[in-house]
Amino acid sequence: MAVVALVSTAAAAPAFELNEDRLVDLSHAFDERTIYWPTARAFTREGVTHGETPGGYWYAAGEFCAAEHGGTHLDAPIHFAATGADAAAVPLRRLIGPAVVVDIAERAAGDPDTVLTVADLDAFEARHGRVRAGSVVVVRTGWAARWPDRRRYLGDATPGDASRLRFPGVGRAAAVRLVERRVDAVGIDTASIDPGRSRTFEAHRVLAAANIPVLENLAHVDLLPPLGAHVVALPMKITGGSGGPLRAVAVLP
């Protein structure tokens, strides 16, 4: 029986028996449909060998190339803070922890420019208690249901043009509140922690300045309860990287 203990900075978590618990994949697959920022290089897989060899055995291999930011991925603090940790230096303890899921999907459905606000966090805490230090806060906007329709997901599908994007994000004041709560990471089911219309990327800058990593383009967050799940979000360990592809899962006890 496989037993894993997931530990956060808030408190030691109970052991989870993975053969009995429910695992939720929070990552979109990487392929030719994966959504990247309009100005970034998309995912490609080339030089693919796939078949029987002259020696009589099966062999499959390929090469992939992509920008650091696209698909389900990590934003390392260095992405928006000169002294922030790079993708290889983000502590594991910040990538594994109890999930706090704040849902703004109903409002976002009628307003693609909406952002997570301090009022949203106040309402969550009034119902569920104070957001604990060491939490991985996940913002649910409902946008993952639009994947992989690039136009619906980003609000615009013009190649090389990021000036007309529209999708929800996190407001600056809410980002400041999350820093005050000493959360370990912040994730969202959109292409950016800042709303698509942002030009100053204030949520990125606030969180990066506090060395808080960001998880973007998360999938299936609608399957997570407000409290009780644990997130394990492990990116490629890229030295000097400003981010990288991420395999994130949630454990539901």
From the centroid of its chain, how far is CA 209? 18
Peptide bond into 98 cis (omega under 30): no
Q: Which domain holds residue 205?
A: 3-252
Residue 131 has which token pair?
A: 């957001």
Domain containing residue 144: CATH number = 3.50.30.50
CA pair distance 41, 62, nearest whole angstrom: 18
Provide the pLDDT confidence category of residue 231 given band limits of 50, 70 and 90: very high
* pLDDT on residue 217: 98
Average pLDDT over residues 181-195: 98
Question: Which of 142, 146, 245, 251 lies closest to 189, judged by CA?
Answer: 142
pLDDT tens digits for range 105-155: 999 999 999 999 999 999 999 999 999 999 999 999 999 999 999 999 999
State yes or no: pLDDT of 47 exceeds 60: yes
Q: Give the pLDDT score at 3.
A: 46
Element (H, E) at 22: strand 22-25
Residue 56 token pair:
């009589």
Give Cα separations from 145 to 7, 24, 37, 56, 150 (angstroms).
31, 15, 18, 44, 12
Give me the pLDDT at residue 14, please: 52
- Distance, CA of 26 to CA of 217 (rounded, Å): 9
Total structural domains in the chain?
Answer: 1
Task: Kindly state the average pLDDT of the residues 176-181.
Answer: 98
Q: Is the pLDDT of residue 232 over 80?
A: yes
pTM: 0.92
Residues contacting 251, CB < 8 A, separation 6+: 6, 16, 18, 21, 22, 23, 24, 229, 230, 232
User: Where does the pLDDT of residue 21 fall: very low under 50, low under 70, confident under 90, or very high at 90 and above?
Assistant: confident
Q: How far apart are CA 66 and CA 45, in angstroms?
A: 9
Q: Which residues are catalytic?
A: 79
Instruction: Supply the DSSP string of 134-189, one letter for each residue.
Output: T-EEEEE-SGGGGTT-HHHHHS---TT--TT----EE-HHHHHHHHHTT-SEEEES
